[in-house]
Structures are given as C-alpha cells and as structure tokens.
Copies of this chain bind each other. A is one copy, B any other.
Amino acid sequence: MEPALGTWEAIDSLRVVRTFADQPLEPAALERILNAGRRAGSSKNLQRWAFIVCRDREHLLELSTIGPWAGHLAGAAVAVALVTPDPRAEDAPLSIEFDLGRAAQNMVLAAWELGIGSVPATVYEHERAADLLGLPDGMHCEYVLSFGYPGDASSLSAPNRAGGRRPLAELIHAERW
C-alpha cells in the first residue's frame, strides 16, 4: 500500500464509482479506509460517529433498498454505514453532519489512493435502515458509503466532466458577499 497519489491529485481526480468488480477489499485496505474516517477532526474532538461495516451479500442486497438511489450497495465489496446521534433532535448541533462529512471525505480519498472507488447512498427509509443495521434508540444513519474496486478500471482515470462543477468565479467572494 505505497502512496500512489499526492493529496491534491487524489482530490482533483476523484470520481464517483457506482459499479464494482467482484473483488473483495484487502483487510489492510479496509482498515486504512476506516482509520481515515477515525482520524478526522471534529468539533471539540467529540467524534460522534460509528461505522457499521457490511460485507454479507444478503445484507448488502437488503441495504440497497433504503433509498431510491441506493442500488449500488447491492454490488459493493464493502458498505460502511455512517451512524451518529440523531441530527434532527431538537438541540442537535449542525456539527454532527459537518464533522461526518469530514470523516467521509477522508475515507473516500484514502480509498481512492488505493484504486478503490466509492459513492454515498442517502437513506430515505430510516426505519428500515435502523432495523437492518440494528441501531439503538437515538442513533441515526443518514448515509451508507459503497466501496469497491471499479467494475470498469478506466473510471479511475476518467477526465473531469465539463460543467461538472461550477466555476470558481461563481463561488468566491472577496471579504464580503
């Protein structure tokens, strides 16, 4: 697991991968991905996250029904359900989801460096997801990440799609909006 990509190169070349090869992740690769999430900074270092690692094919098939665009979970080598305290609770701070996004991006980039693709699924059927994942009361899963080697290896080096992101000039303001 030598570093294959510089940090900027990984950020710039990252593509979403929705179709995966029938190839498991090496245990060391999975551990690195999980550790990348674990290492993320968080508000007051609270680390309000848990990761449920799903590899059983039957379970992945069930999980692929938790939302209208979650079908990719059925073919993932590994799915990682991101679990937090309920972000819809009355006093829940916005940092629960912000911090979770930081952890998820760490995982996705660490995977990409190893040639492993990923895509997030948003949970729409929350009761179903909580049931399938055995969540305790008060814990919430809004996203499940699919990981796996790409079904089409050329997706690792696909060029940036024109118009895929808004241009910088549209996003940036100097000092004030």
Contact = CB atoms under 8 A, between A and B. Distances in A.
Query: How many copies of this protein are present in the complex?
Result: 2
26 contacts: A3-B6, A6-B113, A7-B7, A7-B9, A7-B113, A11-B39, A11-B110, A14-B39, A37-B171, A43-B122, A45-B165, A50-B177, A51-B173, A52-B173, A52-B174, A53-B172, A53-B174, A54-B175, A59-B175, A98-B143, A101-B103, A102-B105, A105-B105, A105-B106, A106-B109, A132-B176
Given A3-B7, A6-B7, A43-B122, A173 B110 contact: no
Given A8-B110, A102-B108, A132-B176, 9 more contacts: A3-B9, A5-B7, A12-B39, A49-B171, A52-B175, A55-B175, A87-B94, A88-B94, A134-B176
